[in-house]
Amino acid sequence: MQGLYLVTDRPLCGQKSLEDVVLQAVKGGAAYVQLREKDISTRIFVEEARRIKQLLTPYKVPLIINDRIDVVQASGADGVHVGQDDMPYAVARSLLGDKAIIGLSVETWDDVEESQKLGVSYIGVSPVFATPTKTDTKGVWGLAGLAKIKSFSRHPLVAIGGINESNAREVVAAGADCLAVVSAICASSEPEAAARKLKSIIDTALLMRR
């Protein structure tokens, strides 16, 4: 996994529809979309996931659902992202099958070591920097922590937390293969332009890292 990874946040979209923000982000170069909903009913979540999946299919961009394996199964999404307190990886894999994308957040070094034993698609380094969109974490990794994980882990790293145009280059340089952003796109007045700029920074930084 490499590139720009959009994590949705409906309130941050303001007057823009979630579907429009997702579409603009993908047109701007987002390679993955994670649908994150904490405050809507299962029925509405499934309906929304189906709409987003249909929207993404022509672009061949995978749809990943935050936490909810039932929503993945009901919507035909491509995978799930789980945290340390969500369904265990082995159970998620048995339910979703070998082809599903399954990402796992790591918040402590023990989490990182444990993830080495798992066939996850990627690990989410969470959070790299402090951010108001992730308040239930155990601390921040920082660039040094990210670099330490990169030198140890066999998995692709998706960095999330406080990432934007001003620090994207150094996050990739520290070891992130993919940058997950929330407010940098959802809260932007021009999501497509914001995504295009971030993608350009990521692509250039990845080339420089080789």
Question: Is the pLDDT higher at 130 or at 10?
Answer: 10
pLDDT of the residue at 131: 74
**Cis preceding linkage at 62, omega within 30:** no
Structure confidence at residue 40 (pLDDT): 92
Residue 42 in domain: yes
56 belongs to a structural domain: yes
pLDDT at 136: 59
Residue 127 domain flag: no
- What's the domain range around 200? 3-102+159-209
Comparing 138 with 35, the larger pLDDT belongs to: 35
Mean pLDDT in residue range 122-150: 86
Residue 150 is a catalytic residue: no
Could you report the per-residue pLDDT of 149-186, keeping only the tens digit for each? 999 999 999 999 999 999 999 999 999 999 999 999 99
DSSP 26-60: HHTT--EEEE--SSS-HHHHHHHHHHHHHHHGGGT
Domain count, the chain: 1
- Residue 129's pLDDT is 94
* Residue 30: pLDDT over 90: yes
Catalytic residue from among 36, 50, 51, 169:
36
Any domain includes 16? yes
Share of the chain above pLDDT 90, in %: 93
Confidence of residue 139 (pLDDT cuts 50, 70, 90): confident
Residue 36 annotated to the active site: yes
**Mean pLDDT, range 189-194, rounded to an integer:** 97
Of residues 105, 121, 126, 153, which has the active-site annotation?
105
- Supply the DSSP string of 105-155, one letter for each residue: EE-SHHHHHHHTTS--SEEEE--SS-BTTB-SSS---HHHHHHHHHHH-SS
10, 134, 150, 196: the catalytic one is: 134
118 lies in a domain? no
Domain contains 113: no
pTM summary value: 0.94
Say if 145 falls within a structural domain.
Answer: no
15 SS3 class: coil
User: In terms of C-beta density within 10 A (0-12 exposed, 13-18 middle, 19 or more buried), how is residue 208 classed?
Assistant: exposed
The 10s digit of each residue's pLDDT in 32-64 is 999 999 889 999 999 999 999 999 999 999 999
Q: How confident is the model over 98-107, as a mean pLDDT?
A: 97
Residue 133 has pLDDT above 90, yes or no: no
What pLDDT is stored for residue 130 in this prediction?
A: 83
The domain that contains 42 carries what CATH number? 3.20.20.70
